[in-house]
Amino acid sequence: MTASNAGRGWWRHLYVQVLIGILLGALLGWASPEWGSAMKPVADGFIRAIKMIIAPVIFLTLVSGIAHMSALGELGRVALRAFGYFIAVSTLALIVGLIVANTVQPGAGLNIDPATLDGGAVADYVGKAEHASLTDFVLHIIPTTPLSALTEGSILQVLFVAVLTGIAIALVGEPAEPVVDLLDRLGIIVFRLVAIIMKAAPLGAAAAIAFTVGHYGLGVLANLVELVATVYATSILFVLVVLGAIARLAGFSILKLIAYLKSELLLVLGTSSSEAALPPLIGRLEAAGCEPGVVGLVVPLGYSFNLDGTNIYLTLAALFIAQATGVDLSLGQQLALLGVAIISSKGAAGVTGAGFITLAATLAVVPDVPVAGMALILGVDRFMSECRALINFVGNAVATIVIARWEGALDRDLLQSALNGETEAED
């Protein structure tokens, strides 16, 4: 810790403020559910402010990073390595969830008659899942206009336009250097704007957790505590064992990385959205020695294709519903579920509700499992969404550092210095 940090009041650190906000918000939601539920507009306002800045951050970071690459071949190599990593680790997360669900069997013994379930409660999610075809997903990546990619809120559309723009600038060469300089300067301004918005993070987290506790209540956890506990325990195991082993092979500690990103993780916990911490994550990883070009490509891609937490949830929730309704799935049917989940989880955004929609799409492949069974976990899905978002966030941070190291785009000394707390990080 630097001298300036040592003399800094503990209450001024963002992670402390966010933690206090979460605690006060939970207390408000518990003591006065009506007031807690009324905090939703405040939480939504903060998340909207964060989403407002995501597109400019990704665009400027990625275009500038590609423009500074020594060869365009680097871009293709980074993307291929990223997708290879995402597929391997995401599939592993699904397998871990499958193994745990069959071992613990959290839904066994409930013996619920599917005919008694309220399918109307999840009809909206099922409807959205039916429109989430692979063709629609691919076509949606192409925006109506280059500018609409920056206004419609789709990360993949921003990526598409940013990559094309960066390639065009790199091909133009020297005449485009003033543009690159302008983009670099705009990037400084945009990240300062991120810092300003993040000042409201404690209030946003407090409002979000107050709404969750006030609207849903802690009582709904009682009936499904085993499922919620299984999801959290499996996710923690995955982070410490699987991601921990990957991090160790890459030369860093997963626990130190978690400590380094504590402010962002608390923000994700409070808002149930990993997107809320996307802009500061980019800044943190660059400060930890990862080159901007790699960070700008891998982090946004990871938010759509590297959803470890969502994958764990998918298999656990799907098998919980099958077990609770007395459906005995064969190994072939479980593998079919896994295969569909590998595809359906891609493109699920890191926001509340996306995991539930993806679950509906996954269950559709096995007619024996009643989709109406999703009503069983609807009440506690909000409490599991925090876990999904946290694991997705950590998984993307690990992926970026690992791929940066593969590319020789990582300053290892700077990384260790940051993870050891030897360099001052902006809160």
Convert the pLDDT of each residue in 182-213 to its tens digit.
888 888 888 788 788 878 878 887 888 788 77
Confidence of residue 317 (pLDDT cuts 50, 70, 90): confident
| pLDDT of the residue at 275 | 76
| Full 3-state SS string of the chain | CCHHHHCCCHHHCHHHHHHHHHHHHHHHHHHCHHHHHCCHHHHHHHHHHHHHHHHHHHHHHHHHHHHHCCCCHHHHHHHHHHHHHHHHHHHHHHHHHHHHHHHHCCCCCCCCCHHHCCHHHHHHHHHHHHCCCHHHHHHHCCCCCCCHHHCCCCHHHHHHHHHHHHHHHHHHCHHHHHHHHHHHHHHHHHHHHHHHHHCCHHHHHHHHHHHHHHHHCHHHHCCCHHHHHHHHHHHHHHHHHHHHHHHHHCCCCHHHHHHHCHHHHHHHHHHCCHHHHHHHHHHHHHHCCECHHHHHHHHHHHHHHCCHHHHHHHHHHHHHHHHHCCCCCCHHHHHHHHHHHHHHCCCCCCCCCHHHHHHHHHHCCCCCCCHHHHHHHHHHHHHHHHHHHHHHHHHHHHHHHHHHHHCCCECHHHHHHHHCCCCCCCC
Confidence of residue 248 (pLDDT cuts 50, 70, 90): very high
pLDDT tens digit string along 164-178? 888 888 888 788 888
* Band (249; pLDDT cuts 50, 70, 90): very high
pLDDT at residue 352 in the model: 45
| pLDDT band with cut points at 50, 70 and 90 for residue 235 | very high
